[in-house]
């Protein structure tokens, strides 16, 4: 099978988990009884009657039939419950004579309640699950079934511009924490009846909503199966966010490189879905996952498709160059200075030597001092409140750089090298990829310190060995370079004119590979 499983033992783990969950069910799957008071007591008892549990009891009809509505304060839209549930219930039955609880239940659902999201369930566990998701539970005396009314409504952030992936041209919408808003952002872009949303409740305790999306008829069925298998194998109290799911589903946890992309941009997810990839949204996290990806996906930005192909191609070549610089530049500097002075043009060699005069450290130490300072500044800039964060940039960039040079700790050339490296590493659309390169950069610097150019080329070879043995859901990370897919090269470094991007990426083996009708 092409889309093969990454972890050998995950099936085993999954079955273990199932077993455990079964036990939980045994303990809690107790059916509701027909006595309303018993039900109320039991539910309140399980939750230990917290303060935010609201119980509104009332009596309806001529013969004063007891009913109660329970919900959790803060999770529900109170106006909705009042207008669409309590109001109609109290006014509808004033003149009617109804005896059996079943009849009332049928009437309530069929004629009285005006809210449209209504369901039923019969166990305490399910009722409490609904309560905790923001639904209201309507209990009726004499009825062993709870009527669930969808009433969730809480404050959530409005759709804003994504923080991490800014682009010049293109939609400014980013995902928010609320998953319903996020699915709507995708749906609004993709009015495709074959768009499938598979909902999971993940986390033994948190029961977080996770939605897997794909377009049936495009995506390879094996990929969907494999992704489902991996999602279902998640066995944890709370999935916490897309990051945890990403790590759980990745083929290899030993690799520094991202095997699943994360993005705040709905247009990126939509593009991925149309290419035959799978998107995953997690409730409470504005980051969506897109899988599978390859090395080259990290250098692509949605903006590439909004710009003229020449501009986009140039930008991509620039990013590739940036990837090279961000990874190898400090190492090259070290190896040239420590091992291969002869390779530097003589005039430049003189000026570098002049600038380095008085610097007490070898180039390696110098490079490490500056690189580590820079990483610290970057980290501090993220943590600090925004206004101070900018100050840190100025302090770090100007003051420390300038001061370090005049104090004779580092040479000005080193400052240039570090600055160019930093700028290059900020130019990727994928933040997690930039972090991976950062890590690799330090390793290569060490290699260069020991073996010069030879060390750099060996590290480059090592990275490539790592890539060819790395898979993202069965797709080699080095695709489409190796294995070769010439057709996909149109949209890797080159971004061919829109008219020529007729096929979906072949490496994804889509069921419908044609994007445009051929004339």
User: Which is nearer to other proteins, 269 or 323 (by Cβ)?
Assistant: 323
Burial of residue 64 (CB within 10 Å: 0-12, 13-18, 19+) is exposed
User: Which is nearer to other proteins, 388 or 457 (by Cβ)?
Assistant: 457
Of 29, 33, 49, 343, which one interacts with other proteins (CB under 8 A)? 343
Site string for other proteins, 288-327 (x = CB under 8 A): ----------------------------------------
Nearest to 389 by CA among 399, 398, 379: 379
342 lies in the binding site for other proteins (CB under 8 A): yes
User: Which is nearer to other proteins, 185 or 325 (by Cβ)?
Assistant: 325
Residues touching other proteins, count (CB under 8 A)? 37
User: Which is nearer to other proteins, 439 or 461 (by Cβ)?
Assistant: 461
Name the token pair of 233: 């194998």
User: Which is nearer to other proteins, 197 or 484 (by Cβ)?
Assistant: 484
* Least spacing, CB of residue 265 vs other proteins, in Å: 29
512 lies in the binding site for other proteins (CB under 8 A): yes
* Least spacing, CB of residue 255 vs other proteins, in Å: 13
CA–CA separation, 359 and 339 (whole Å): 18
Q: Max CA-CA distance within the chain?
A: 104
* Least spacing, CB of residue 281 vs other proteins, in Å: 28
Residues in region 346-405 near other proteins by CB under 8 A: 346
- 3-state SS record for 329-394: HHHHHHHHHHCCHHHCCHHHHHHHHHHHCCCCCCHHHHHHHHHHHHHHHHHHHHHCCHHHHHHHHH
User: Which is nearer to other proteins, 112 or 331 (by Cβ)?
Assistant: 331
CA 129 vs CA 134, 295, 389: distances in Å = 9, 41, 42
518 lies in the binding site for other proteins (CB under 8 A): no
CA–CA separation, 64 and 74 (whole Å): 30
Look at the block and give the residue holding tokens 């803060």: 74
162 lies in the binding site for other proteins (CB under 8 A): no
Please write down the long-range contacts of 63-68, taking CB distance under 8 Å and 24 or more positions apart. 63/97, 63/98, 63/99, 65/93, 65/98, 65/101, 65/104, 65/140, 65/141, 65/142, 66/36, 66/140, 66/141, 67/36, 67/138, 67/139, 67/140, 67/141, 68/36, 68/40, 68/138, 68/139
User: Which is nearer to other proteins, 33 or 457 (by Cβ)?
Assistant: 457
Of 50, 193, 345, 387, which one interacts with other proteins (CB under 8 A)? 345
Site string for other proteins, 417-446 (x = CB under 8 A): ------------------------------
User: Which is nearer to other proteins, 28 or 222 (by Cβ)?
Assistant: 222
Of 40, 118, 274, 344, which one interacts with other proteins (CB under 8 A)? 344
Binding segment for other proteins (CB under 8 A), chosen from 73-81, 179-187, 302-310, 340-348, is 340-348
Residues in region 1-20 near other proteins by CB under 8 A: 2, 4
Binding segment for other proteins (CB under 8 A), chosen from 160-168, 253-261, 334-342, 366-374, is 334-342
* Least spacing, CB of residue 502 vs other proteins, in Å: 12
CA–CA separation, 443 and 446 (whole Å): 5
Binding segment for other proteins (CB under 8 A), chosen from 131-139, 170-178, 371-379, 509-517, is 509-517
* Least spacing, CB of residue 175 vs other proteins, in Å: 32
Name the token pair of 300: 């692509």
Nearest to 276 by CA among 318, 350, 337, 218: 218
Residues in region 444-483 near other proteins by CB under 8 A: 451-458, 461-462, 464-465, 467-469, 474, 476, 478, 481-483
CA–CA separation, 494 and 498 (whole Å): 12
User: Which is nearer to other proteins, 348 or 388 (by Cβ)?
Assistant: 348
Please write down the long-range contacts of 506-509, taking CB distance under 8 Å and 24 or more positions apart. 506/480, 507/294, 507/475, 507/479, 507/480, 507/483, 508/219, 508/220, 508/223, 508/275, 508/276, 508/277, 508/292, 508/475, 509/2, 509/220, 509/276
Point out which residues bind other proteins (CB under 8 A): 2, 4, 339-340, 342-346, 451-458, 461-462, 464-465, 467-469, 474, 476, 478, 481-484, 506, 509, 511-514
């Amino acid at each position: 099978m092409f889309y093969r499983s990454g972890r050998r033992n995950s099936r085993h783990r999954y079955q273990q988990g199932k077993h455990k969950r079964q036990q939980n069910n045994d303990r809690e799957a107790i059916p509701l009884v027909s006595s309303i008071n018993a039900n109320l007591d039991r539910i309140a008892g399980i939750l230990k009657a917290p303060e935010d549990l609201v119980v509104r009891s009332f009596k309806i009809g001529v013969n004063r039939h007891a009913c109660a509505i329970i919900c959790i304060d803060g999770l529900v839209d109170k106006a909705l419950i009042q207008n669409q549930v309590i109001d109609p219930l109290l006014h509808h039955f004033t003149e009617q004579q109804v005896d059996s609880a079943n009849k009332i239940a049928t009437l309530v659902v069929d004629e009285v309640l005006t809210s449209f999201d209504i369901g039923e369930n019969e166990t305490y566990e399910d009722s409490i699950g609904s309560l905790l998701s923001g639904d209201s539970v309507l209990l009726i005396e004499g009825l062993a079934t709870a009527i669930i009314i969808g009433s969730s409504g809480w404050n959530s952030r409005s759709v804003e511009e994504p923080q991490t992936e800014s682009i010049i041209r293109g939609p400014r919408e980013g995902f928010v924490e609320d998953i319903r808003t996020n699915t709507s952002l995708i749906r609004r872009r993709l009015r495709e009846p074959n768009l499938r949303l598979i909902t999971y409740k993940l986390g033994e305790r948190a029961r977080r909503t996770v939605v897997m999306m794909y377009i049936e008829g495009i995506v390879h069925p094996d990929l969907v199966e494999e992704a489902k298998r991996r999602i279902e194998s998640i066995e944890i109290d709370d999935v916490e966010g897309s990051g945890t799911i990403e790590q759980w589903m990745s083929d290899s946890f030993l690799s520094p490189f991202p095997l699943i992309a994360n993005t705040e941009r709905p247009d990126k997810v939509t593009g991925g879905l149309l290419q035959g990839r799978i998107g995953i949204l997690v409730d409470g996290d504005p980051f969506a996952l897109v899988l599978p990806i390859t090395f080259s996906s990290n250098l692509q930005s949605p903006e590439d498709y909004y710009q003229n192909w020449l501009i986009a191609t140039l930008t991509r070549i620039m990013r590739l160059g940036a990837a090279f610089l961000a990874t190898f530049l400090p190492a090259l500097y070290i190896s040239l200075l420590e091992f291969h002075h002869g390779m530097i043009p003589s005039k430049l060699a003189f000026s570098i030597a002049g600038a380095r005069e008085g610097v007490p450290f070898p180039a390696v130490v110098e490079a490490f001092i500056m690189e580590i300072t820079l990483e610290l500044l970057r980290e501090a800039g993220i943590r600090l409140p925004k206004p101070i964060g900018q100050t840190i940039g100025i302090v770090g960039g100007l003051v420390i750089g300038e001061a370090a040079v005049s104090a004779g700790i580092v040479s000005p050339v080193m400052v240039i090298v570090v600055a160019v490296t930093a700028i290059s590493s900020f130019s990727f659309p994928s933040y997690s990829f930039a972090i991976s390169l950062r890590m690799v950069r330090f390793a290569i610097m060490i290699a260069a310190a020991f073996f010069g150019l030879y060390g750099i080329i060996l590290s480059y070879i090592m990275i490539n060995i790592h890539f060819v043995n790395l898979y993202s859901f069965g797709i080699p990370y080095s695709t489409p370079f190796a294995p070769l897919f010439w057709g996909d090269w149109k949209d890797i470094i080159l971004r061919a004119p829109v008219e020529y991007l007729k096929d979906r990426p072949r490496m994804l083996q889509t069921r419908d590979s044609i994007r445009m009708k051929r004339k």
